[in-house]
Amino acid sequence: MLKILIKSRIAGIVHAFSQAASKKSKRKVSGAIVALVALLIIGLALFSVGAMFWLLCTVAQMGNTEWAVFSMATVYAALLCIIGSVFTVKTQIFESKDNDLLLSMPIPTKYIFLSRMIVLLLINYALETLVFLPCTVVYSILIGLSFKGAASLLFVFLLLPFLTLALSSIVGWIISEITSRIRHKTVVTVALFLIFFVAYMVFTMSISGDGMLFDIGIFQSTYLFWWSGDAISNGNMLSLLWFALASLIPAAVTYFVLDKSFIRIITTKKTANKIKYKGNRTRSRGAYFSLVKKELLRFFTSATYIMNAGLGSVLCVVLSIYFSTLAKNILPIVDVPDFEWVGNLIGPMVAIVCAFLGGMNFVSAPSISLEEKQLWILHSCPINPKDVLMDKLTCHLVVCAPLTLVSAVILCVAFKVSFGMSILVLLTVFASVLFCDYLGLFLGLKFPKFGWQNEAAVVKQSLASMIAMFGSMVFFGLMGFLSFHMSKLSGYFAIIVVFAICAIICGIIHIYLISSGAKEFDNLKK
């Protein structure tokens, strides 16, 4: 029975990722594209982490602190597992939609809980691999790994997810208890996610020491990370034993407590304050305003939508504040005789950085697929399909443009960008937001994903969302490469070219949407 439950859980996850399009003729092609995009994402992630650990290994060799490399890997893997699974624990264990169905069947409760924990443990192993695999390869090439170190690495890899899953389960349970007793669940869920995310960013930024890529003192004072690094790099079996105890004991206690109270947790009726409705006069609004309001309400009442499609702007602000602290180290380079061209590069790079980070927003991409159950209403109302498409563009713009522009202002002030260049930077950043907006809606119209059971399948796993986000990032990466070379001649010329390219693409997609795109939307699901 346990094996069947695990297989069904895994099959559900695979089905959610493989379900790509509404038309049968497109499913094979879309599935292949999803697989290629997924492989590209994984490859880029592994390459990025590997490049980071290449630098870390080089610094560690110079300071004879090789053990700190795997201490750093343990930190990143643990944080990635916790951030990546805490809200999954909340929805898959404590708020799963099939809890009542499974409890009504002659299935031992311990099997239901254990099957979900095993699947979550496998997810943690997958997340952990993104860090430990490139770290191990780079470390083996530059420094070398002994037999004892390899054995210790295997044990650390196997043991760490038990600890991270225990911590995720506790935090997920607390979040579930809090959100189940309040009215504004979306606000609290997003706020808690932001707290975790900002704490992660602050911690990873704070571990850099003066002139070094990491601060040794942090790892030496945190025994768990010291034990993992010492066991792998130096083959210290005592450190491995302490690491094993520190990982397994909390996991065992957490599993025992949650297993014993699982039925009580998921069957306890939660109550929240009831909404008191008051009668007020309603103002008559036009169709366009009403559609925009509907889109904004859908976005701001869905924690899944916000956390996956709209947090790029928050990340942009957080990183812009961090990058602004680096200005004091970069600006003096401009005065060096051989590096005057760096001054031309600052303005375009500010625009590209904000555009790249803003490219993580893809609010418009899943918006059409999310309309599946209400499409018949839109088709039956006397509404021009062009207005429906334009309101989705407006929603993306309202959500993403303000914070992205604020980030650009912060960086322009910090790097002392001239007034004229600052205006061009803001125009280019706004054009980049429009580019992501138009691209997302175009892809959402071309690759709608209907037949979904959970909106997370559309927001997180649809082909339109994946291509919109990573396609935008690749595009702005290419624009950055182009700007870097053009800025050596003229910074103004470089940023005007980027602005013009974004504006031309947006114009082409706009013409398509108000003509053929509107007709295509009108024929969806008919």
Q: How high is the pLDDT of residue 499?
A: 93
Mean pLDDT lowest for which of 31-40, 83-92, 130-139, 367-376? 31-40
Examine residue 396 and state whether it is found in any structural domain, yes or no.
Answer: yes
Whether residue 295 is found in the same domain as residue 263 = no
Whether residue 175 is found in the same domain as residue 205 = yes
**Per-residue burial over 487-501, b = 16 or more CB atoms within 10 Å of its CB, e = otherwise:** beeebbebbbbbbeb
Please, which pLDDT band fits residue 23 given cuts at 50, 70 and 90?
very low
Examine residue 85 and state whether it is found in any structural domain, yes or no.
Answer: yes
Whether residue 338 is found in the same domain as residue 257 = no
Compare 57 and 244 and report the one with higher pLDDT: 244
Per-residue pLDDT reduced to its tens digit, 383-406: 788 888 898 999 999 999 999 999
Task: Measure CA of the first residue to CA of the last residue in the chain; give whole Å.
Answer: 42
Most confident among 51-65, 115-129, 185-199 (mean pLDDT): 115-129
Q: Could you say which of 267, 298, 328 is where a domain stops? A: 267
Compare 222 and 309 and report the one with higher pLDDT: 309
Q: Please determine, for residue 381, whether its predicted confidence score (pLDDT) is greater than 60.
A: yes
Whether residue 94 is found in the same domain as residue 236 = yes
Instruction: Give mean pLDDT, residues 261-290.
Output: 64
Cβ atoms of 19 and 451 closer than 8 Å: yes
Q: CB burial class (10 A; 0-12, 13-18, 19+) of residue 30?
A: buried
- How far apart CA 7 and CA 13 sit, in angstroms, is 10
Examine residue 68 and state whether it is found in any structural domain, yes or no.
Answer: yes
Q: How high is the pLDDT of residue 402?
A: 93
Instruction: Give mean pLDDT, residues 198-220.
Output: 55
Whether residue 71 is found in the same domain as residue 147 = yes
Q: Please determine, for residue 20, whether its predicted confidence score (pLDDT) is greater than 70.
A: no
Q: Could you say which of 267, 299, 333 is where a domain stops? A: 267
Whether residue 257 is found in the same domain as residue 295 = no
What's 491's DSSP letter? H
Whether residue 209 is found in the same domain as residue 348 = no
Whether residue 226 is found in the same domain as residue 86 = yes
Whether residue 424 is found in the same domain as residue 510 = yes
Would you list the DSSP string of 459-487? Answer: HTT-HHHHHHHHHHHHHHHHHHHHHHHHT
Would you list the DSSP string of 321-357? Answer: HHHHTTHHHHGGGGGSGGGTHHHHHHHHHHHHHHHHH
Whether residue 230 is found in the same domain as residue 339 = no
Tokens of 194: 């932001």
Q: Please determine, for residue 271, whether its predicted confidence score (pLDDT) is greater than 70.
A: no
pTM, rounded to two decimals: 0.71
Q: CB burial class (10 A; 0-12, 13-18, 19+) of residue 238?
A: exposed
Q: How high is the pLDDT of residue 433?
A: 94
Instruction: Give mean pLDDT, residues 434-452.
Output: 88
Q: Could you say which of 234, 267, 300 is where a domain stops? A: 267
Q: Please determine, for residue 59, whether its predicted confidence score (pLDDT) is greater than 80.
A: no
Q: Percent of the chain, pLDDT > 90?
A: 16
Examine residue 12 and state whether it is found in any structural domain, yes or no.
Answer: no
Please, which pLDDT band fits residue 505 given cuts at 50, 70 and 90?
very high
Q: How high is the pLDDT of residue 210?
A: 43
Domain count, the chain: 2
Examine residue 185 and state whether it is found in any structural domain, yes or no.
Answer: yes
Compare 133 and 488 and report the one with higher pLDDT: 133
Q: How high is the pLDDT of residue 298?
A: 86
Q: Please determine, for residue 207, whether its predicted confidence score (pLDDT) is greater than 60.
A: no
Whether residue 226 is found in the same domain as residue 297 = no
Q: Percent of the chain, pLDDT > 70?
A: 76
- Structural domain including 245 reads 39-267
Please, which pLDDT band fits residue 467 given cuts at 50, 70 and 90?
confident
- How far apart CA 232 and CA 224 sit, in angstroms, is 13
Q: How high is the pLDDT of residue 212?
A: 43
Instruction: Give mean pLDDT, residues 257-265.
Output: 75
Q: Please determine, for residue 120, whether its predicted confidence score (pLDDT) is greater than 50.
A: yes
Examine residue 9 and state whether it is found in any structural domain, yes or no.
Answer: no
Of 217, 201, 221, nearest in space to 209 by CA = 217
Examine residue 5 and state whether it is found in any structural domain, yes or no.
Answer: no
Compare 406 and 80 and report the one with higher pLDDT: 406
Whether residue 51 is found in the same domain as residue 163 = yes
Measured over the CA atoms of residue 149, residue 152, residue 158 and residue 160, the dihedral's sign is: negative
**Per-residue burial over 52-74, b = 16 or more CB atoms within 10 Å of its CB, e = otherwise:** bbbebbebbeeeebbbbbbbbbb
Q: Please determine, for residue 93, whether its predicted confidence score (pLDDT) is greater than 80.
A: no
Considering the chain, what is the average pLDDT of its residues?
79
Examine residue 70 and state whether it is found in any structural domain, yes or no.
Answer: yes
Instruction: Give mean pLDDT, residues 135-147.
Output: 88
Instruction: Give mean pLDDT, residues 413-433.
Output: 91
Q: How high is the pLDDT of residue 213?
A: 46
- How far apart CA 248 and CA 162 sit, in angstroms, is 7
